[in-house]
Amino acid sequence: MLLSAVNLAFALGVRTQFTGPEVVTINNLRPALAYIKLGAVNFGAVAFITKDGYAVTHQLSLGAGAKELVTSSGEKLNFTTVHKDTPSQLVLIKTTKVPSKVETVSWADDTDGGRGMILAVLPTGTVRAEITSSERIGVDDRSRRAVPMNEVRIEQTPTAIGGALLFSGKGRLIGSIAATLAVAPGSVSQDQSRVGNQNAGLQSNVNAKVAAFGPTGLVVGYTPTWEVTKRAIAGFLTPGHKAPTALLGVLIVNSLGGVSVQQVDVDSPAAQAGILVGDVISDIGGKKIRDQIDFARMTYDFKPGDKVAIQIQRGNQKITLEATLGAQSTQLAERRLASIEATLAPGKY
């Protein structure tokens, strides 16, 4: 099943009254928010990260050539696109003149970005949502890079949620909805389904049962986790306005005691460190690696150029190697994809 935010899923629900703390958070967030306009319609949510006009939105919110936004105070501003970050699916935009009055948001962390009740800012307003799992994994089709993802459930009135910005109870940005699935009341089996975004090529294998809650139904959404969002915004705030992603240069699968290396990219940091096919990685930079999700999260915690100790199991030996992480490159992604495709027999997928 292909689940795509491009198709904009819908669900029936009843807008829940906000709690007192949620109302405080919503009011505090309002000066940092804006909405992209498409004609007379609010088309996408925007959050400012600097007071001089840099802001983030989901790439779906830039559809149909929209070039104008309106701030919470009613100021209309034109904007240009600065950089698109594939893993987070966030886009950095810049207003053509400095806003007269806006506040800013920051990113969430492990204290408030991975669990519980959160707020989803839609073009039509703010609704309550809930992170139900942080144990999902996405894959960028072009780079074959893993992206850790949250599963989010949203109860709401009928509305499109693709591209919604998600905030913690502290008002910090967790991420944005990358894909959606409308769920009717009852249980729906999601075995081996794919979560995708046709623009970015982000997919995920989901092995779970998604159960409806509430009297009428819900929307299930998928968002890159706070680690991915933090890396993106931190990069957007640098002079180059880009967020390079750290690279070790291996393809891995889950294994007993960690993740097993299936491929080592030529001339990659992994190759230079001496990692071999068949090695089982159990720790990187002091972070325990239990599975592919831990490995994916790790790659967004570090930066290109960081030196990390890597603990591996090679046969009966426990070995510690040191690697200097590199940066994801288009050339490496193309070589990796070509290598994967070369291993597939004709007629097989």
Which stretch of DSSP H or E encloses residue 45? strand 41-48
Is the model's pTM score more than 0.95? no
> What pLDDT was estimated at residue 248?
92
In 141-183, which ranges are E strands? Answer: 145-154, 165-167, 173-176, 179-183
Token code pair at residue 261:
């290396």
Token code pair at residue 69:
């936004």
Among 12-16, 72-76, 172-176, the minimum mean pLDDT is found in 12-16
> What pLDDT was estimated at residue 315?
92
Token code pair at residue 84:
């698109």
In order of their start, the domains of the chain are 2-18+106-234 (2.40.10), 22-95 (2.40.10.10), 246-329 (2.30.42.10)
What's the whole-number mean pLDDT along residues 277-288?
A: 94
> What pLDDT was estimated at residue 136?
83
> What pLDDT was estimated at residue 185?
42
Please determine, for residue 102, whether its predicted confidence score (pLDDT) is greater than 90.
yes
d(C-alpha 215, C-alpha 222), whole Å:
22
d(C-alpha 207, C-alpha 121), whole Å:
27
**Percent over 70 (pLDDT), the chain:** 73
Please determine, for residue 150, whether its predicted confidence score (pLDDT) is greater than 80.
yes
Cβ(67)–Cβ(79) under 8 Å? yes
Please determine, for residue 142, whether its predicted confidence score (pLDDT) is greater than 70.
no
Per-residue model confidence as pLDDT tens digits over 154-163: 866 445 566 7
Q: Is 285 left (phi over 0), alpha (psi -120 to 50) or beta?
A: left
Please determine, for residue 16, whether its predicted confidence score (pLDDT) is greater than 70.
no
Q: Is the dihedral of CA 128, 122, 231, 24 positive or negative?
A: negative
Please determine, for residue 292, whether its predicted confidence score (pLDDT) is greater than 50.
yes
Please determine, for residue 76, whether its predicted confidence score (pLDDT) is greater than 80.
yes
d(C-alpha 55, C-alpha 241), whole Å:
11
Cβ(136)–Cβ(190) under 8 Å? no
What's the whole-number mean pLDDT along residues 162-178?
A: 90
Cα Rg of the chain (Å, integer): 21
Per-residue model confidence as pLDDT tens digits over 19-72: 899 999 999 999 999 999 887 778 889 999 999 999 999 988 887 678 899 999
d(C-alpha 182, C-alpha 297), whole Å:
27
Please determine, for residue 327, whether its predicted confidence score (pLDDT) is greater than 50.
yes
Cβ(116)–Cβ(129) under 8 Å? no
Please determine, for residue 348, whether its predicted confidence score (pLDDT) is greater than 50.
no
Q: Which of 220, 217, 277 is nearest to 249 (CA)?
A: 277
> What pLDDT was estimated at residue 346?
39
> What pLDDT was estimated at residue 119?
93
Contacts of the segment 111-116: beta carbons below 8 A, 24+ positions apart: 112/168, 112/169, 112/170, 112/172, 113/168, 113/172, 113/174, 113/225, 113/226, 113/229, 114/150, 114/225, 114/226, 116/169
> What pLDDT was estimated at residue 144?
62
Token code pair at residue 264:
């080592």
Q: How many CB atoms lie within 10 A of CB 140?
A: 20
> What pLDDT was estimated at residue 276?
96
Per-residue model confidence as pLDDT tens digits over 236-278: 999 999 888 888 999 899 999 999 999 999 889 999 999 999 9
Cβ(43)–Cβ(36) under 8 Å? yes
Cα–Cα distance list, 86 to 137, 214, 245, 254 (Å): 15, 34, 10, 24
Q: How many CB atoms lie within 10 A of CB 319?
A: 14
Average pLDDT, the chain: 78
